[in-house]
Amino acid sequence: MDFAKYHFNPFQFTPGEDLLLDAHARHVPFFRGCRQVLDLGAGRGLFLRELAKVSIRGIGVENHAESIESGRSHDVRYFEADMFEFFSRPDGRELAASCDGVYCCFVLEHLDPKQVFELLRAIKEHCAPNVRCRFITHNPEDIDALGTCLYGDLTHKRLYVPSVLAAMARSQGFVRTEFATFLGMKLGKKDTLRRMWDRLFWGKHKWRPNFYLDCFA
């Protein structure tokens, strides 16, 4: 969809940069020991900026010009292409072969199942043999994710159940998968108290709107 035609910015509801940097920083330890990490759909390079703080080399795959310009102002390195073009190009495949880590945050909900299978297959086939991956997406077992998170972004296609996504990864050759649900953002005192109250009634179906899936080759 051409949002500019309708004078609409689909990214206007994105949280502030400080909150996003903190959220990405929580996933940096997973990649300790990696030679180079590939960030698929890297956006403004927030995760790559956090990686650089602990001297882990990373490169983003992104095709949105404004995001790339923003990331480069923070010395983020990019391969300018969409994910599928990246894996179809010889220079993209050469770069992928040097990457033993893959980070893909809030991208899968923009893909249909066929595209997810193709992405998993491409990573397994073209990245380093010992690649480890972390995919982060919305948890459809959480009522807020199933409502606000899914429909609050006009570019979302669907959400994936954690166990189903893990099985999809194994079908494409990943030998081990692990997943966990989590709350991605910091909470103030008021929301912390509200969360405690809500968990009495909703259990795992509220305040766990995200999940990560870790895949090991």
Tens of pLDDT, residues 121-176 = 999 999 999 999 999 999 999 998 988 889 888 999 999 999 999 999 999 999 99
Give how far Cα 206 sits from Cα of 70, 141, 200, 209, 212, Å.
34, 8, 10, 7, 16
Cα 209 to Cα 165: distance, rounded to the nearest angstrom: 16
- Tell me which residue has tokens 């994910």: 83
Instruction: Give tens-digit pLDDT for 162-171.
Output: 999 999 999 9
Q: Quick count: other Cβ atoms within 10 Å of Cβ 213? A: 23
Instruction: Please give the angle made by the CA atoms of 199, 204 and 205, to the nearest 5 degrees.
Output: 90
Question: Is 195's pLDDT higher than 70?
Answer: no
- Of 66, 134, 75, 148, which is closest to residue 99 (Cα–Cα)? 134
Question: Is 189's pLDDT higher than 80?
Answer: no
The predicted model scores a pTM of 0.93
Exposure pattern of 33-46 as b/e (b: 16+ CB <10 Å)? ebebbbbbbbbbbb
Is the CATH code 3.40.50.150 the one for domain 16-216?
yes
